[in-house]
Chain A
Amino acid sequence: MTEIQAGAGVAGEATPDQVPAIELDEVVKEYVSHGEVVQAVKGVSMTIGEGEFFSLLGPSGCGKTTSMRMIAGFEEPTKGVVRLHGQDVTNVPPNKRDVNMVFQSYALFPHMNVWDNVAFGLKRKKVPDGEVRRRVGEMLEIVDLVGREKRRPREMSGGQQQRVALARALVNRPRALLLDEPLGALDLKLRQHMQIELKRIQREVGITFVYVTHDQSEALTMSDRIAVMNDGLVEQLAGPREIYERPATKFVAGFIGTSNLLSGVARAVNGSSAVLALGPEDRVIVPIKEAVAEGDTVELTVRPEKIMISTERPEGDLSMVEGTVSEVVYLGTYNSYAVALAGGAEITVFQQNVHDSTTTAERGDTVWLSWQPQHSYALQ
């Protein structure tokens, strides 16, 4: 969360820049379909800072598009308030809002060439002709489409159409740019290229980006902050590192990367950590945030790359569990082990190929898994 303040000027000074670019305040959106009320967004609050690259991440149907469409003005919230730069715009139509949207399907004007597509917004805003020419030209340079001004959208590749859509929105210098899964239709290579391009363009123009995606790696690599959404609610709102390292909920732990879920009864609680009972020889220590009483069941998560695998019971203040290897997969840069615990849980372990290509254990071996207690998190 410190990242947002970074570009916002000296702390304590009430510059206009410190007014958040976008605020959603307890926003609810209900649809009526086939006589039934569907809550697409169930009460979402978030504050997006000026110049921030902010992602809405979550599985299909979790309400990302609906949230974004309320920011753009295509949908009116059933409840709650939308503010842009401190101004309540909850009932302001899209053409009166200073944000622009890049649609998933691009939604270019099929009857206009690239130039006219990009110039559309400026012309509606009655920007003088000379300035329209200059700004459209500049923008086409930024998105690398110089020389293709006369092309129609259908004469261009997906990646080029994508850049036209981006240019068409950015040329208006909106206070914020909304992108709804903008790279979803591109193949992997082009998508990775465009991710870098988008980051570069965002740095260059310094505009707030709100980026909707269901691709966790995309969100992790590009964003300053991420709101992980599930079923119409925000599960966690934090920077990528925090989201990955310290998932707040079971859902986040499961949705972002690979993670292991374990649960056990708290045997001893001392202030900031709890010792869980798993197998007789096992010892699992987990930091806790909320009050946990002895006898409570605690769920914890630990990432596969944080776990060490050994044939001997390790020494030291580590959490450790015993299990049987049920699968070993060689993946080049690392080996992946699946280890079955006595209680039935299965743990995935990634082991970097540091030394040579031999593995520590084979299928059927009994092994010890261990990790630093601070690498595991109790889930809410």
Chain B
Amino acid sequence: MSRVRAALTPYALIFPGGVWLAIFFVVPTVVMLSLSLQSGNVADGFVFTWNWQSYVDGLTNYHDQIIRSLAYGLAATLIQIVIGFPVAYWIAFKGGRHKSVYLFLLLLPFLVSFVLRTISWQFLLSDNGMLLGPLKDLGLLPHDFRVLATPYAVIGGLAYNFLPFMVLPMYVALERIDPRVLEAANDLYANKFQTFIRVVFPLSLPGVFAGVLMTFVPATSDYVNASVLGGTNTTMIGNVIQNQYLVTQDYPTASALSFTLMALLLIGIFAYAKALGTEDVLEVAAR
């Protein structure tokens, strides 16, 4: 009796999570996959016809936006590494007794809605707004200078919006480093710089890896930053998909594009894991 119960316990424990995943992930994914292979229109309805054409159309018409999304996502991720690493390092090693305060301060802006934050940036960066306006009045910037509607604004917005997801895993990895290990390096004739290169950085890599996963994926598929901070030349694939769903109502193309993006990201992630010398992506992320 108790043996049976012991054997069933793990299944009982994953049941709620399993149901959640089935309803909110598996079902929509299957529906979307099926949609992407249907043909028809909103007025007459869609029928399943193994219509691969949506994939071909999506790729031919929107490959610019796909490539742009990957490039913006990559750029934003790199910026976040450069900005986030010193922040995580500082909190982990110099934060002393106030580490949690600094982490809270880091997260504080992110308690405000994602969209609102982005709109605030739009307001701050607007062509004659509180930042650029005075500078233009003082003649420090030309009158046609703009930040909004440029790739810089979109990439900057992406980098800003997902920053905590980069900093937190890095912080966790750095914070876990035993200070004695750093002393050992110092004892074994390594100076501060060598200790950083040979010990601190390699030991922080699992955190960087997790941070990249957690920021590159949402940044690449994001549409809010491009639509709020961008212009006509900064459209990302997320905007195209949103447009196909809500405006054009071409569900098969929207679904096909979503799947294409998902496939590209998965391939990217596994290639990335391979490059870091690990077969198991999740193992690295969990380490």
Q: Point out residues on A near B: beta carbons under 8 Å.
A: 72-74, 93-95, 100-101, 103, 105, 107-111, 120-121, 124-125, 168-169, 172
Contacts and interface: CB of A to CB of B under 8 A. Distances in A.
Interface stretch (B50-58, B87-95, B186-194, B267-275): B186-194
Contacts of B186: 74, 93-95
Interface size of B as a range: 10 to 19
Contacts of B183: 74, 94, 101, 103, 107
Report which residue of A93, A101, A107, A169 has the largest number of chain B beta carbons within 10 angstroms of its beta carbon. Answer: A107
A109 B190 CA distance: 13
Interface in B182-227: 183-191, 194, 198-199, 202-203
A292 B191 CA distance: 57
A105 B178 CA distance: 10
B184 A95 contact: no
Given A109-B199, A111-B203, A124-B194, A101 B189 contact: no
Nearest to A104: B180
Contacts of B263: none
Contacts of A111: 199, 202-203
A354 B190 CA distance: 59
A120 B188 contact: yes
Interface of B: 178, 180-181, 183-191, 194, 198-199, 202-203
B191 A103 contact: no
Contacts of B189: 95, 121, 124-125, 172
23 contacts: A94-B183, A95-B187, A100-B187, A101-B183, A101-B184, A101-B187, A103-B180, A103-B183, A103-B184, A107-B180, A108-B181, A108-B184, A109-B181, A109-B199, A110-B181, A111-B199, A111-B203, A120-B185, A120-B188, A121-B189, A124-B188, A124-B190, A168-B184
Contacts of A95: 186-191
Contacts of B184: 101, 103, 107-109, 168
Contacts of A125: 189
Given A105-B178, A124-B194, A100 B202 contact: no
Contacts of A107: 178, 180-181, 183-184
Contacts of A101: 183-184, 187
B177 to A, nearest CB: 9
A125 B190 CA distance: 8
Contacts of A72: 187
B180 A100 contact: no
B202 A168 contact: no
A262 to B, nearest CB: 45
Return the 4 tightest CB-CB contacts between A and B, nearest first.
A121-B188, A107-B180, A124-B189, A107-B184
Contacts of B185: 109, 120
Nearest to B181: A107
Contacts of A110: 181, 203
A121 B186 CA distance: 9
